[in-house]
Chain A
Amino acid sequence: MSGRIVTIVLLVATVLASVLLATRLGAVRIPGNHQGYEPAQPIAFSHRLHAGELGVQCLYCHSGAERSRHAGIPAASTCMNCHKTVTAPFGAVRAEDDLATKEGRKPALIVSSELQKLYDAMAIDPQTMLAAPDRQPRSIAWTRIHQVPDFVYFDHRGHVAAGVTCQQCHGPIETMERVRQMETLEMGWCVNCHRQVNQTGVAGRQVYASIDCVTCHY
């Protein structure tokens, strides 16, 4: 009798657990292919706006791609090169200007909520662009998207030098509001390209892309 009760309790618990877990199954990334991974970032930085609309060169921010293994995420100081003067989207600034003219006052400084996060990280008061002594500067913790496994070494330098465009691996990044992993970044995908370019060349130039294991694995 008691055995049957235990069985029923266990079965109910199992079903309940499966239902609870099933809803979270979609959020689980298992190791391996992360194609389509598109996490939210601490600041809603738009590549569509910067790289697409404004036409900022990729290497302006990701300067490491040219001279290092890692392309790198730009330091906050790089953002500040522009965002010392640009504190909000153009539309918001113009609306405030119009409103101020209508009300006959000096336009106020508009600071977008996303850029405020940058100023907070730098511990800067956007009104004065001076250090805010009561705040602590803190690095911005971006969520990494493109990532090859631990036992793979990818070097940006050689690819940039050979003339491979950023889009070839990262997709049409200049159209992305939020960055998404377009390609699989799996070994077959790498090797196919390495094989192909040995025939076709890159940007009209002949190249040699090795498919030795130690090209990437060491």
Chain B
Amino acid sequence: MSKDVKHYWTSLDRREGATGMAPGPEFEVPTADDFRTSRRGFLAAAGFGLAGSAIAGCSRAPVEQALPFLIQPEAIVPGRATYYASTCGACTAGCGLLVKTRDGRPIKLEGNPDHPLSRGGLCAVGQASILPLYDSQRLTGPLQQGQAASWAQVDGAIAAALTAARDAGRPVRLLTGTITSPTTRAAIDRFLSGFPGSEHVVYDTLSTSAVLDAHERTHGVRVLPRYRFDRADVILGIDADFLGTWIAPVEYTAGYRAGRAPGDQPARMSFHAQVEARLSLTGARADRRLVVAPGEYHLVLAHVANRVARLAGVAPLVEPLAPAPVAEAVIEDLGERLWQARGHALIVCGSHDVALQLLANSLNHLLGAYGATIDLERPSFQRQGSDRALERLVAEVAGGSVGALIIAGVNPVYELPGGATFAEQLRKVPLVVSFSSHLDETASVAGFVCPDRHSLESWSDTESAAGVVSVTQPTVSALGDTRPMIESLAIWSGVPRPAYELLREHWQAQVYPRRLAADTSFEAFWEKAVHDGFVEVAPSVPAVRAFTAVPLAPPPAAAREADALALVLYPKVAMLDGRGGLNPWLHELPDPITKVTWDNYACLSPSTAARLNLDDGDVVRVQAGEGVSLELPVCRQPGQHDDVVAIALGYGRLGSERFAQVGPRWFEARPTVGDNGRVGQNAAPLAALADGMWRYSGVPARVTPAGRRRPLAQTQSHHEISVPAHLAPPGGGRRPIVQETTLAAYVKDPSAGSHGHGEAAEDLWPPDHQYTGHRWRMVIDLTKCTGCSACVVACQVENNVPVVGRDEVMRRREMHWMRIDRYYADGPDGSVDVIQQPMLCQHCENASCETVCPVLATVHSEEGLNQQVYNRCVGTRYCANNCAYKVRRFNWFEYPREDRLQNLVLNPDVVVRSRGVMEKCSLCVQRIQDAKVEARRQGRPLEDGEARTACQQSCPAQAITFGDANDPGSRVAHLLHDPRHFRVLEELNVKPSVGYLTLVRNRPGDGGEGGGNASHE
């Protein structure tokens, strides 16, 4: 074993190894938190099982009926999928969608590869946003004072109340999230114009108000610039998780990946530094990560700015300065790189502090970013909220002056720091209307609830960046008696119109005149926009003023109370601001960094946890502000600042009580929800909304042990790949599962970082796989993969993977076919390096699972797939035990599928597996077969890229390549010869069909830290 093998570990318990993979248990051993069956329990289960199987055996074949259409619709061919271009409604980023529909109902959302912003990617939240469509707890009609009412009743009462408010001279307020739809904005303006003194207040829970305010001061317009990560060579992120949760992660990932392509022609490799207090998804990708307390972001950026100013030969931007909390050399290096890359440098700052944003703007200006990496001519409309306006509205409501409050797309009672107080004060407003589709926190205190439609049920549009207008088209009839918001507003304005007409009229009047091709008719323009899902037109934005220097405030002195930690409230990739809070797919998605499911928790750095004598799962009371406190379990998070406690937003939603019963119901099932009856706890009350700023970070918090335990459903040590010492190749160190190198080493030698375990010289198996037809293989680029987990949800939707619930996850029984292994390693200067490795069935040629199956339920196909035949499987689980990659999943139960509405989301092309069978990734064989048979039908050979797996289709980073290795022109055949290509556990000679490309970090160094060939010599 040599000393230059990087030491990778998956959890802190595994950190203490010598070299190579830290010695974990060779086989998975249940921890103390796992349950043990009592003898009595076992006998009860055995008895019930026997009786159940006897009863189940006595069935007869059901008589099935086939109901054809009466009148054949043109677009629907039973059994054939139809795709419609649309726009994702899950957040305000406005990614392009292809909605896969079968027999008139949407079953899967995929990225639209032609869309100019998202470029074919779709995040986990977007993928999962199809499930709420089939949510049986969605409101099916309007409510008046909590009672079901008819639309006529509700409309009459609201119109009367609105007139009363106008006559009384009390203003009308419309409170919404960011509205990217130009048609909706126009409808709102029309509606409000009927009420003098009315105002449209916009806020974003994940606020970027400070960015907009700062640009208003420096550039004269209150807009969000469009960040062009694709043009940036040096990126400095400050507390902006732009690959995970900040504004438009899919669009940013698409741009970011363009700059992270060391193997492409021409090669590009951007440098990315991240300044943050907790370990975010973006920080995990950074080439250099500076761990800084939230109160010191400003100071660090000021030092960098002054350094750049010195290089630029101008006066320092901020003076005087306290010493930087990071090494001077790091600041100098960063300043040097930024200045060298001027015109190709980009600083993104996620802070809620306008003063810090002003500094970021000034530095961006100094680096020539405006007009290059920051587009203000064609800005983004993805965030429009104003914290100041929100604060004013809260005061108005408290003052009792508001005559009517109409709330759409937001949930202030849940999201505001003083939500409970706000709910009380809403009583002073005579008319409160909510457009919520669920009876959420706000809707349950509103007088009227007028449920809006799901975005897959309605016509709408989105202009997320100036000049790119996307169309949202309905792909299913409304499933309840709901009504689009713009129709409701039109009715209350006295001019009822259907949403489709409103949309078309707006397009004819406002969008069509901005067309780029002059000689198209409106009909053709509209048809094309609906067909493509988007249209590019001339931007229409107020003129941007040239940069105006503003006086920059010095960084505030870091005022830290003794023994208090700085609170950081952050959005999680799956949950965001809580919009995923009722979606079981998103709850069960392991967080890309902590790997925890079904809960939020207080993240502490390992040393702080040790100081407070806390371990994972110990409950602590986190107290911030005046008397607001939460009790949450601890999660020790490497790479986090010692003075920080980080808590995820978006949990504890009203309505998450439904998950008490999620997962299999059996006699030892434990509920998924916590003591409060909900999933996780709402951390929003810990934030502060004051002085026009919504503060999520830096609020001082006290952490005290509560003396209880609530173990976390953390998947990081489940299904862990380990390399036992006695299986290590002779003379060599035990090989890490992942490979990494540095850019410097890669430029010298493209195969740097390789562990040099090629094919085995001797083979136990005869070469009996001929692969005369197709040969399916997959390559995953670890340099591109961000770990965003979109693939995990895509796979779950495509392959009908069940949700098992918190209790089953804790028993290591999660069913995801695709998991993302997250490895830590100790990086330079005490930081933590992270590698994300998507792990799925590797479809080995000499598969260890195949040889041990006693019933031949898993066998090799002539196209290189490792086939799992569910109806042959008898559930011995030998295959899972023998799998080196731990990718097989066993159906311990018949997972609940009683919700008939929710079952409509199931993919009819994939079997719903029953209890007692093994399952695993099939490389989306249903898609392969469909592509093959379609090519055969058309009498032509299959082309590269026709058969795409679900994980590949929506990957925002395009890290996954899949195809036919026997086709010499295919992309995958090309990548197989990439010097970075390696296969996990190659020394076992199982010959996986899935390979990976070595992670390249843009760091100086000779590549020795990746392992290196030296270790075997």
Contact = CB atoms under 8 A, between A and B. Distances in A.
Nearest to A122: B70
B59 A76 contact: no
B909 interface: yes
Nearest to A210: B862
A5 interface: no
A185 to B, nearest CB: 12
A164 to B, nearest CB: 12
A34 interface: yes
Interface in B922-953: 922, 925-926, 929, 932-934, 936-937, 939
Contacts of B909: 153, 218
Q: Using C-beta atoms within 8 Å of the partner chain, give the interface range for chain B.
A: 35 or more
B867 A140 contact: no
A218 to B, nearest CB: 5
B929 A214 contact: yes
A75 B70 contact: yes
Interface string A63-93: 0101111101111111000000000000000
B993 to A, nearest CB: 14
- Pick the most buried of A39, A78, A212: most chain B CB atoms within 10 A of its CB: A212
A65 to B, nearest CB: 10
Contacts of A69: 79-80
Nearest to A39: B63
Given A157-B937, A214-B861, A218-B911, A208 B773 contact: yes
Contacts, number: 130
Contacts of B63: 29, 39, 143-144
Nearest to B928: A214
A150 interface: yes
Contacts of B59: 31
A34 B922 contact: no
Interface string A45-71: 000000000000000000010111110
Nearest to A158: B933
B68 A212 contact: no
A149 interface: yes
B61 A137 contact: no
A141 B929 contact: no
B869 A213 contact: yes
Interface in A122-141: 122, 137-141
Nearest to A74: B68
Given A30-B60, A137-B70, A217 B870 contact: yes
A180 to B, nearest CB: 15
A78 B68 CA distance: 11
A29 B60 contact: yes
B284 to A, nearest CB: 34
B871 A217 contact: yes
B666 interface: no
Contacts of A144: 63-66
Contact of B68 (A68, A73, A160): A73
Nearest to B858: A213
Contacts of B863: 212
A76 B71 contact: yes
A73 to B, nearest CB: 4
Given A157-B934, A212-B862, A68 B79 contact: yes
A28 interface: yes
A176 interface: no
Given A144-B66, A161-B937, A150 B72 contact: no
B929 A215 contact: yes
B929 A75 contact: no
B910 A218 contact: yes
Interface in A88-109: none
Given A31-B59, A218-B926, A218-B929, A139 B937 contact: no
Contacts of B773: 208
Nearest to A73: B68
A139 B861 contact: no
Nearest to B924: A218
A213 B861 contact: yes
Interface in B831-871: 859, 861-863, 865, 867, 869-871
A29 B60 CA distance: 6
B78 A70 contact: yes
B67 interface: yes
B67 A142 contact: yes
A155 B929 contact: yes
A66 B922 CA distance: 27
A151 B939 CA distance: 28
A146 B258 CA distance: 51
B859 A213 contact: yes
B765 interface: no
Contacts of A74: 68, 72
B929 A77 contact: no
A218 B77 CA distance: 22
Contacts of B867: 212-214, 217
B667 interface: no
A147 interface: yes
Given A70-B79, A218-B929, A149 B67 contact: no
Nearest to B939: A161
Interface string B859-900: 101110101011100000000000000000000000000000
A210 B59 CA distance: 33
B42 interface: no
Contacts of B77: 64, 67-68, 72
B78 A64 contact: yes
B106 to A, nearest CB: 18
Contacts of B869: 213, 217
A162 B936 contact: yes
Interface string B900-918: 0000000001110000000
A64 B78 CA distance: 7
Contacts of B870: 151, 217
A121 interface: yes
A20 to B, nearest CB: 17
B207 to A, nearest CB: 45
Nearest to A28: B60
B60 A214 contact: no
Contacts of B61: 29-32, 34
Interface string B344-385: 000000000000000000000000000000000000000000
A78 B929 contact: no
Given A69-B79, A139-B68, A143-B63, A214 B865 contact: yes
Interface string A177-218: 000000000000000000000000000000010101111011
Most chain A Cβ neighbours within 10 Å, of B61, B867, B870, B911: B61
Q: Which of B865, B910, B911, B937 has the most CB of A within 10 A?
A: B937
B946 to A, nearest CB: 15
B929 A139 contact: no
A160 B939 CA distance: 12
Contacts of B861: 212-214
Contacts of B65: 141-144
A160 B61 CA distance: 29
Nearest to B65: A141
A77 B74 CA distance: 12
A93 B1003 CA distance: 90
A137 B67 CA distance: 13
A74 B69 CA distance: 8
A25 B420 CA distance: 66
Greatest chain B CB density within 10 A among A142, A151, A158, A214 is at A214
Contacts of A67: 77, 80, 937
B71 A151 contact: no
Given A64-B78, A72-B79, 4 more contacts: A140-B67, A210-B862, A214-B867, A214-B922
9 contacts: A29-B61, A67-B77, A68-B80, A75-B71, A142-B66, A144-B65, A158-B937, A215-B929, A218-B911
Interface of A: 28-32, 34, 39, 64, 66-70, 72-78, 121-122, 137-144, 147, 149-151, 153, 155, 157-158, 160-162, 208, 210, 212-215, 217-218
List of 6 A-B pairs having minimum Cβ-Cβ separation, nearest first: A70-B79, A69-B79, A75-B72, A75-B69, A68-B79, A212-B861
